[in-house]
Amino acid sequence: MLNLGYCKGSMSTASSGGVSDQFPAGLRVLVVDDDPTCLVILEKMLRICLYEVTKCNRAEIALSLLRENRNGYDIVISDVHMPDMDGFKLLELIGLEMDLPVIMMSADDGKNVVMKGVTHGACDYLIKPIRIEALKNIWQHVVRKRKNEYLEQSGSVEEGGDRLQKQSEDADYSSSANEGSWKNSKRRKDEEEEVDERDDTSTLKKPRVVWSVELHQQFVAAVNQLGIDKAVPKKILELMNVPGLTRENVASHLQKYRLYLRRLSGVSQHQSGMGNSFISTQEATYGSLSSLNGLDLQTLAAASQIPAQSLATLQAAGLGRSTAKPRMPMPIVDQRNLFSFENPKLRFGEGQQQHLNNGKQINLLHGIPTTMEPKQLANMHHSAQSLGSMNMQLNAHGDPSGSLLMQMSQQQSRGQILNEATSSQVPRLPSSIGQPIVNNALASGVLARNGLAESGRGTGFNPVSQSSSTMNFPLNTTAELTATSFALGSAPGVPSLTSKGVFPEDINSEIKGPGGFIMPSYDIFSDLQHHRSHEWELQNAGMTFNGSQQSNSLQSNVDVASSVLAHQGFSSSQSNGQGRNISAVGKPMFSAGDATDHVNAQSLGQPLNNFFAENLVRVKTERVPDASLQTTLFNEQFGQEDLMSALLKQQQQQAGIGPAENEFDFDGYSLDNIPV
Amino acid sequence: MANTPLHQQLSIMRQSFFDEGLLDHEQVSYLETLENEDDPDFIENLFTMFLRDSSRYIDSIEKALEATPVDYPVMERMMYRLKGSSASIGASKINGETNTLRKVFHDGDIESAKVSLQKLKEEHANFKEKLVVYVGMLKEAKLSEY
């Protein structure tokens, strides 16, 4: 592999300041584990491998070490369970902020936990007791990452969604993926002007850009301004007008962002077991819509003709689940702008027609058998999108959207969302930036939820409006999105999803129901997903949700949102490092009660990321009050099903279609009782 | 290692750990290979650390389990840590008992968990007693070489 060799050389140079000959000796490893015995053993083994080892026993310490010395480490190895922060959250943060490869390790070898590692972007997962053989080759992850970064930069967004999609789907860490993206990048390289730059060792070595909150917000604003499909690094760079920022920086960040958005949408889908995600997406859409343009959700609702009741139900469902709503990383809300309100409207129209077409709808929903109104989908899509953008900006919100969310779920989510939204996570942004993508997804989901709920309610749901960041989704939107358990949106954790850009894959996997994911109709979803992921990427690129495109995007959004939500669910549980620790890892989301407790604990102050993740998760769980929804689908943490059910129900109500139409058989849930 | 009576004793004791299933032969041998001249006290330090930490973890687990309401997060964390550290040094029986406790605990049966914890404590006490002797002998053997 010429790249590999090349990378290797440059990498070693970059990493060890000239130890190329001895590479991988001198690899700078940061080990994080709260158990002293394990830490000592690991350190010993790593030293034997001739690596430079730094050990710490707290995630926070690790983060500060990494932040203080951004280019001081090549790879991080972290345990999953840590007292001050969930390992997965740390994983996401590192991926987003520093873009370092992270290896997770655990005494647990449960499939779910390992899956979480994958979905959160871990480049490897080691089971204790760890052997030195496992550590000898960790350098490959460093090389691979650098190589991918290089490739991604050369091929960046400009290539269009295909490439990115391909790359992201290729998962940075899998060899097969690498080959795929490699090929792409190779091709691109030839075409790209950057190729020349790339060949420059310095490119590989270039110092990492710290995507601060402000920078990220600028980025998101630029992306939104350009439109997700038109947002190419070059233009984004121009719009941002940040001295010293290179196109490559933007390109790689854009890719992550897209992945994040995808993850958000994917998560949402997962969570609701299709239904939820769908709902969330929809809601998110709604939310985003309203917030985006400050349009009243009601208006939207009216436009989309979503029965208030349905919305309420959805919201309730969503809210019900997410006790922890506040978690939503509201920061994303700011992104509302990204979503264009108009779009949703368009969606509605489209949705309507599709509405009758149950099957179609399902597609949108991602498997949500219910006849989610296309509009809803659209909304979701929007929301999802907005969420994405919102995530980025959620911090800014302070959210009134939270209030919206509250309505939805009235319960917890309310508090959560608001919290999240209000927590404005601005401070959080830095960490959430990494997560924004995730949040966005959440936000989208949340927004969708809100949107749905709102319309039903006629509350003029503006979940998003408040902070104008329609994204209310996860970050801010959480509150807005749907007070319902939707808190998912707020799941700051969402960001964690995208931590490493593993998002695309995660979504797919999630959708497919890894470990029992939900989606009964996941095949649809996956189809959509693939289809959509492409679109999603495009859309994400623009972060602006275009209603017109939505029909397709909706679907994809939904898919993405679902997956994102689903992911988020994961992440949120984990991200809640704030103490929330949803310790939900693997905890079924459906236990709304549990989730709620956990989530609720989350204070607004929690980082957006957490918010999202948690909210998303929460939202979902709460959604399914009755768990009749087949929620048990994986979304371990979310009650996606609830959302789905609610969503489906709503659709049914709207379309007059009976539950039977739902592929997912969500008949169980009863949205009607959700207090609006 | 010289073949003095002390070393022989050490060897016998070491083997008895394996025979009784207290320590995993493979893991311990593996750890021993990590020891070298630069860090000759690696194994004894490891065992000492484990003895100290595992006692703490078990105490925490007991407290958490006795608390009302049961302190779930602490339980989870402590059990997880104990599982990880015992696996890392090859303390098989302790690892096994911890797994049993985790399972019972996750099943929601607090009473059974308490019973399981008692068993774990017994195993731990037994292991500790023997390991303390072994570590002492290790130190002594090393010193005798200087």
A128 reaches B (C-beta below 8 A): yes
What are A420-463's pLDDT values in tens digits?
334 333 333 343 333 433 334 343 433 334 433 333 343 333 33
Map residue A77 onto helix, strand or coil: strand
Q: Which residue of B has its CA nearest to A582?
A: B73
Residue A300: CB partners within 8 Å, gap ≥ 6? A286, A289, A290, A341, A344, A345, A348, A379, A451, A454, A455, A461
What are B29-80's pLDDT values in tens digits?
888 888 877 788 889 999 999 999 999 999 999 999 888 888 888 888 899 9
pTM of the model: 0.44
Strand ordering across the sheet containing A124-127: A52-56, A28-32, A75-79, A102-106, A124-127
What are A282-338's pLDDT values in tens digits?
443 443 333 434 344 444 444 444 444 444 444 444 444 434 344 444 444 444 444
Q: Are A82 and A93 in contact (CB under 8 A)?
A: no
Q: How far apart are the CA of A44 and the nearest CA of chain B, in angstroms? A: 7
B interface with A, Cβ–Cβ below 8 Å: 27, 30-31, 34, 39, 42, 45-46, 49-50, 53, 72-73, 76-77, 80-81, 83-85, 87-90
Bridge-based pairing state of the strands A52-56 and A28-32: parallel
Contact yes or no for B45 and A40 at CB 8 A: yes
Contact yes or no for B87 and A583 at CB 8 A: no
Which residues in chain B have Cβ-Cβ distances shorter than 8 Å to A40? 45-46, 49
Question: Which residue has better confidence, A342 or B144?
Answer: B144
* Helix locations, A120-212, DSSP H: 132-136, 139-155, 161-170, 175-191, 194-199, 201-205
Say whether pLDDT at A348 is over 90.
Answer: no
Tell me how far apart the alpha carbons of residues A630 and A274 are, in angstroms, rounded to a whole number: 10
Question: A12-17 long-range CB contacts below 8 Å, 24 or more apart?
Answer: A13/A201, A13/A205, A14/A146, A14/A201, A14/A204, A14/A205, A15/A74, A15/A142, A16/A52
Q: Which residue of B has its CA nearest to A82?
A: B77
Q: Are A391 and A329 in contact (CB under 8 A)?
A: yes
Contact yes or no for B87 and A36 at CB 8 A: no
Tell me how far apart the alpha carbons of residues A75 and A103 are, in angstroms, rounded to a whole number: 8
Tokens 């992440």 correspond to: A571
Contact yes or no for A108 and B80 at CB 8 A: yes
Task: Give how far the C-alpha of residue A492 lies from the chain's centroid of Cα atoms, to the nearest Å.
Answer: 9
pLDDT band at A638 (very low <50, low <70, confident <90, very high): very low
Bridge-based pairing state of the strands A28-32 and A75-79: parallel
CA distances from A472 to A127, A398, A418 (A): 38, 10, 10
Tell me how far apart the alpha carbons of residues B23 and B16 are, in angstroms, rounded to a whole number: 9
Q: Which residue of A has its CA nearest to B79?
A: A107
Tell me how far apart the alpha carbons of residues A223 and A227 are, in angstroms, rounded to a whole number: 6
Nearest to B88 by CA among A128, A144, A202: A128
Q: How far apart are the CA of B46 and the nearest CA of chain A, in angstroms? A: 6
- For residue A22 the two structure tokens come to 């001895």
Contact yes or no for B31 and A38 at CB 8 A: no
In this complex, which of B34, B72, B76 lies closest to A44 when CB atoms are compared? B34
- Contact residues, A window 192-221, toward B, CB-based 8 Å cutoff: none
Which is it for the CA torsion A239, A240, A245, A247, positive or negative? negative
Q: How far apart are the CA of A202 and the nearest CA of chain B, in angstroms? A: 37
User: Given this model, what pLDDT does residue B121 score?
Assistant: 93
Map residue A105 onto helix, strand or coil: strand
What are A360-408's pLDDT values in tens digits?
433 343 434 444 444 444 444 444 344 434 434 433 333 444 343 334 4
Contact yes or no for B84 and A130 at CB 8 A: no
Tell me how far apart the alpha carbons of residues A51 and B56 are, in angstroms, rounded to a whole number: 31
Contact yes or no for B42 and A44 at CB 8 A: yes
Contact yes or no for B84 and A107 at CB 8 A: yes
Contact yes or no for A41 and B53 at CB 8 A: no
Which residues in chain A have Cβ-Cβ distances shorter than 8 Å to B29? none
Tell me how far apart the alpha carbons of residues A441 and A391 are, in angstroms, rounded to a whole number: 8
pLDDT band at A30 (very low <50, low <70, confident <90, very high): very high
- Give whichever of A35-49, A370-384, A501-515 has the largest mean pLDDT: A35-49
Residues forming beta bridges with residue A125, ordered by sequence position: A104
Contact yes or no for B87 and A129 at CB 8 A: yes
Contact yes or no for B50 and A37 at CB 8 A: yes
Nearest to A570 by CA among A174, A87, A99, A96: A87
Q: Are A615 and A446 in contact (CB under 8 A)?
A: yes
**Mean pLDDT of all residues belonging to chain A:** 53
Which residues in chain A have Cβ-Cβ distances shorter than 8 Å to B73? 581, 583
Contact yes or no for A107 and B87 at CB 8 A: yes
Tell me how far apart the alpha carbons of residues A672 and A646 are, in angstroms, rounded to a whole number: 9
Percent of chain A with pLDDT over 70: 27
Q: How far apart are the CA of B140 and the nearest CA of chain A, in angstroms? A: 22
What are A595-611's pLDDT values in tens digits?
333 334 333 434 444 44
Q: Tell me which of B60, B71, B81 to substitute to probe the interface with A (most A C-beta atoms closer than 10 Å).
A: B81
